[in-house]
Structure 1
């Protein structure tokens, strides 16, 4: 048993992690919004493990520092056979299961199924949105909603009105009903009252059926309100209702600050839109982030700052790190490497979990960079942990007494997972 390191393996592990990161980002961009999240997470970690495993296998074939020359001469064929099942398949299963767990609703949280659109209909909107593109964006969002959702619409100026009570969007007829109510709206010359808008919206939420369904609010305005909204915000906090706010061409800094306050106080996000034509994209972006809890992306909603989900993500990454380490040991059919790499995976997974938890912010470029750093930490510590936890070469020959000549006879040591000595007929896996 020796503490040693294969520097080429460490370098190739980082290269493999980089390649896995690049492929993983393509997977996220192409599949996250259309495929089940547990499948996407499973693919992400499975591909990452495959890239790291392939790189480490090539490094050991070039310089068999950890497994020894006997492994390179006799057992590389077995390692190639085990590469895909030990890395891609194993980590797909582990990543998918952990994502399923992470996506469950614990601690009284509710999955958002009901959405309230709260739209400014004050006189100033005639200037900032003369073509009523905010209503076009609302109808487009409703068209794109999944059939398990319900929607309600509140419009406000210096008064607030429930334009459309909660209605399912399972059928096109139900969607057309909401669209017709929106099309019938008449412009007003009133002012802006956030207090009445928030109060009417909460009244609608509290009077709805199926209280077990979570609710999210999208509020759009172009102005500032003098009304006091402290009491209303307390009600939203108590009900754990997220309010995402959209500011359209807001010229008064106080209006921007107030919309930001509403979003921050309820666990939502504020979006600034300079032209009405950008409203549809923002509405869809907000919808796409509903209950966005994946192990590799920013967590949003009422559980954004949840201690439980913070610990669950970090623990999940530790398990994934351990699984990647063990997968490398399986690939080499060396239980000592599996122990060393697995221990390193736990340590690196914890660090990667902290990096993701406190580094992800919801911005595409910076989040990609954070994932890249986490993956490099994961790959580097796993590859270097044989300096901490000692390993034994796979199938190294050691002498023993015996034989007809009375001299020494070589026998292979047992490093495989079966615990049996390896020879040309038994690979010991």
Structure 2
């Protein structure tokens, strides 16, 4: 009996407590080495249910839940025990593709810069109909190459079928570009009517004292008019320090020697054109439909703005009245500005470096107005102006659909096709409106083509990405909080 009591007492005070692992309590039930030494509130270093798992009559290796904690001198360590085995789970994440957006903008700008060089170099030297098809096909080729590179980098599938679809879209841009340009250049009515009324705007800035000290510009005008009919009428405006009419509109028979200039001041090109239009609107300067303005300058305008809003508004008025403005540049001039002025009103632009050739240049400018047009330039007003406006918008939208096909060919089912289609169509319609409405209101041809290129090439989408995650199990989460 004494021996039995002794064993029972020892059983109560052993290191594993009263209940052994066969009793589902390997920890110290009341007190002992594991209970008191590790400072767990309940004396259970591994929680309340350590030992119910595998090798302990069923369950997981650690079973149940529990925790223990301690201070290691650097911080608090918390262990969270959760039941079950770890498992891999598949998760789909959707994120916005910055790569496609950035690359689409860069590719569009690169094409625009290249296209401007080609456009300015070849548009007057090669067949404009064929040129337009090549222009849009090259744009499609650059976009397609850029999008396939991005697709390869981010791991999208690129198949021979996709490359074939992209090639078909590029070919479509070539063929439709040629066809649409051919239709757009057809004349469905009369263009501006040429009359025998000429308005000369002569640069009278201080620089003319050096570039034309002998006033060859005045002599060129007089020689030019000497070959015209006596009933032809002309007026002369000068612009420098002062913008003024130095000869009112009268027949040549009244004399051509009654005007001269005295150079001084800046080069207010916008100002003199605005003055001429004001005089026309007030009745001070009579005009006929088809009346021609010839602007002569030797430098850069001193009164332009970033978007040339005032200039474009004035040019729109000239175009509406079917009055062309031809420009003659002497020496180092702003050819871009002069081309914009003449292009938006149906005139022509002529430049010369030699003052002795000024008469020839002036004679080239005083001619039947230029009625040529293309899908990428300003358009002189015609009898059916609304028809050409509608054609340009529709033709550009259809061409823009070719760029949409190129975008879709470079993607797969992980991209948001709906987002690509909606954003692209918005950009395409906006680009077409920029080329028609924006160009006729405030934008120069340069900025209009830049905006069209970016809007047509814009690629906006999200991409789905599948990731693998591990569910909690085994020892569960381990969190360490440092002080």
1:18 to 92, 98, 109: 109
Q: Tell me the distance in 1 between the aligned counterparts of 2:197 and 2:297.
A: 15
Q: Which has the higher contact order (CA 8 A, sep 6+)?
A: 2
Q: CA deviation at 1:338?
A: 7.7
Pair 6,104 (structure 1): closer, same or farther in 2 beyond 3 Å: same
Q: CA deviation at 1:48?
A: 1.0
| TM-score normalised by structure 2 residue count | 0.46
Q: CA deviation at 1:130?
A: 7.9
2:169 to 86, 89, 109: 86
| Structure 2 residue 446 is matched with structure 1 residue 368 | yes
2:430 to 326, 342, 351: 351
Q: CA deviation at 1:267?
A: 2.8
Pair 197,288 (structure 1): closer, same or farther in 2 beyond 3 Å: closer
Q: Tell me the distance in 1 between the aligned counterparts of 2:119 and 2:431.
A: 18
| Structure 2 residue 392 is matched with structure 1 residue 313 | yes
| Structure 2 residue 375 is matched with structure 1 residue 295 | yes
Pair 302,366 (structure 1): closer, same or farther in 2 beyond 3 Å: closer
- What corresponds to 1:160 in structure 2? 231
1:196 to 251, 263, 272: 251
Q: Tell me the distance in 2 between the aligned counterparts of 1:362 and 1:271.
A: 20
Decide whether the 8 Å contact of 2:190 with 2:383 is kept in 1: no
Decide whether the 8 Å contact of 2:140 with 2:403 is kept in 1: yes
Q: Tell me the distance in 1 between the aligned counterparts of 2:173 and 2:136.
A: 6
Q: CA deviation at 1:24?
A: 0.9
| TM-score normalised by structure 1 residue count | 0.51
- What corresponds to 1:412 in structure 2? none
Q: Secondary structure at the match of 1:155?
A: coil
Q: Tell me the distance in 1 between the aligned counterparts of 2:363 and 2:316.
A: 19
Q: CA deviation at 1:62?
A: 0.9
Larger % of helix: which? 1
Q: Tell me the distance in 2 between the aligned counterparts of 1:262 and 1:317.
A: 26
| Structure 2 residue 187 is matched with structure 1 residue 105 | yes
The residue correspondences of 1:133-212 to structure 2 (distance < 5 A) are: 133=220, 155=228, 159-160=230-231, 194-196=249-251
Q: CA deviation at 1:31?
A: 0.9
Pair 310,344 (structure 1): closer, same or farther in 2 beyond 3 Å: same
Q: Secondary structure at the match of 2:228?
A: strand
Q: CA deviation at 1:5?
A: 4.7
Report how many aligned residue pairs link the two structures: 285
- What corresponds to 2:54 in structure 1? none
Q: CA deviation at 1:135?
A: 8.6
The residue correspondences of 1:23-38 to structure 2 (distance < 5 A) are: 23-38=114-129
Pair 314,261 (structure 1): closer, same or farther in 2 beyond 3 Å: closer
Q: Tell me the distance in 1 between the aligned counterparts of 2:138 and 2:163.
A: 16
The residue correspondences of 1:47-86 to structure 2 (distance < 5 A) are: 47-64=138-155, 68=156, 71-72=157-158, 75=159, 77-86=160-169
The residue correspondences of 1:255-334 to structure 2 (distance < 5 A) are: 265-269=321-325, 271=327, 277=356, 279=358, 280-281=360-361, 290-299=370-379, 301-303=380-382, 306-330=385-409
Unaligned runs of 5+ in 2: 1-92, 201-212, 234-245, 254-275, 299-314, 332-354, 467-483
Deviation per CA, 1:366-398, whole angstroms, max 9, x where unpaired? 532332222112222xx11x46xxx999xx9xx
Superposition CA RMSD, Å: 5.1
Q: Tell me the distance in 2 between the aligned counterparts of 1:248 and 1:12.
A: 42
Q: Tell me the distance in 2 between the aligned counterparts of 1:192 and 1:232.
A: 11
